[in-house]
Amino acid sequence: MPPRKTFLLVLLWVGWSGLLSLQSAQASDGAHYLLLRARAHYNPSLSPKQVEADPARYEGSALEVQGKVMGWAGGGDNVTVLLLPTNDLNDPLSLSVPATERSFFNALQDMGGAATIRVLLRVEALDADSNIPKYKVLAAALEDDIEAALADAKTRAEAQKLQKMWDKVQWLQAFRRSLPPDLRGSMPARGGEIRAPLAVEGDASVQTAVYTAAMPPELRTMFLPYFQYIASRNPSLSDREVGLITYCLLTDSYQLQVDPRLTVSMIIAESDFDPKCTSNKGAMGLCQLMPDEVQRYGLTDGYDIAQNIWGGVMELRECLDRYQAYASPDGSLSDEQIRLAMAAYNAGPGAVKKYGGVPPYKETQEYVRKVLRYFHQLCGTSSTP
């Protein structure tokens, strides 16, 4: 019998005994068929009747037909099977199968009987002699195989969803434990839509009331400590600006699973919370985004507080992911991971790769030390050499 992959690439005529002999391969066959179907970009609403009515219109289109193989004819290089679609409105289809699969068809024929299958077809040029549409067989599989594969895919998708939820809960629990007393609060155990309200005028109490109303309940207790800390870093900021910065910093860090204390430390090193800061190289705003980064993240205003923080935290998340292999054994941030990530944020990942670590640039080395120093101050820990 030909290799198992043949099972997908040809039409089947399988009796009950044949089904029993093929049960062990059902899940993989169905999954392979679904993969090929996805790649073919088939039209799920297209039927043979529609193709027959206007073959030229659907030439090159892919469609799926469910039915039973009622027989075949020919031999050598001209093996043809007759597929009777399940839908009675569709006439039987005569489908040509490659001669290389003849031995497999012979084996299936010996099993006797017929099984419900699905066949993936491509509409080819109209047959000039018969004026009947021609089809190319792209894939075929037992109906039971496909149903099993669909059920398995659904189960795996649900399992992955649950795993992601659990991963987030574990991260949040670890983050709660890591908070120093002066910045201790809770993070929400589950996500949800977070919308930024319009910036408003008012003192700290007004800002806290307005912004926390838009935050998940457990995230709200962190707002005021961060508000007060940011205000102390740059007294020239208005309460309106501090409120918006605090809100965006906390919610963006939460959504992208970045420790907000690292976000704070990065912004201190970049601009010391000056939204109008511009470097001599053209870096903009709180997180000092370069023009190409503004474009890459789809931002319209590099100095806009909300847009700038989102782009900065996105960039920070990407840098941390790049050096995830240097994280602590429990998955938490290590000093080495932070060093490499912040060096990449400042000088680019190419420079880090070139020098096998933090580049020997005075600016970058001081920048990395500054971020680590503030991060450990906020964590109440000490930095490793």
Catalytic (active-site) positions? 270
Helix (H) or strand (E) holding 209: helix 204-212
Task: Show Cβ contacts of residue 339 under 8 Å, excluding neighbours closer than 6 positions.
Answer: 357, 358, 368, 372
Rounded Cα gap, residues 36 and 149, in angstroms: 13
Rounded Cα gap, residues 234 and 126, in angstroms: 74
Q: Going edge to edge, which strands form the sheet with 79-85? A: 93-97, 79-85, 62-73, 116-123, 135-142
Please tell me whether residue 93 adopts helix, strand or coil conformation.
strand
Instruction: Tell me which residue of 20, 15, 10 sits closest to 111, measured CA to CA.
Output: 15
CB 358 within 8 A of CB 340: yes
Q: Which residues pair with 140 in a beta bridge?
A: 119
Task: Show Cβ contacts of residue 238 under 8 Å, excluding neighbours closer than 6 positions.
Answer: none
Task: Give, to the nearest 10 degrees, the angle between helix 305-322 and helix 335-347.
Answer: 120
DSSP for 291-307, please give it: HHHHHHTT-S-TT-HHH
CB 326 within 8 A of CB 349: no
- Amino acid identity, position 129: D
Residue with tokens 């590099």: 302
Q: Cα angle vertex 271, ends 265, 274, to 5°? A: 115
